[in-house]
Amino acid sequence: MGHAKDYVEAMWRILQQDKPEDFVIATGITTTVRDFVKLAFSEVGIELESIRPGIEEKGVVIQCNNSKLNCPSVKY
């Protein structure tokens, strides 16, 4: 995780460029897409499990702890 002040400074520096370009603002901490997705879903109360590793990998809902969502658990 980064500090808001650092992100704001990075955005300001991007706006100072003379020509538009693509930039990445990052913390330097590497994570897998799998871990990012699991973390994002857990923030809204959904527990995922990965099946079929590799290019065909899928995430299935193991448990939904958010009463505002209609996401039944999948048993396999």
Kindly state the tokens that stand for 31: 């994570």
pLDDT score at 74: 57
How far apart are alpha carbons 7 and 33 in whole angstroms?
Answer: 22
Residue 70 CB coordination number (10 Å): 7
Averaged pLDDT, 21-37: 89
| Alpha-carbon radius of gyration of the chain | 18
Q: Is the pLDDT of residue 73 over 80?
A: no
Instruction: Judge whether 48 and 60 are in contact, CB under 8 Å.
Output: yes
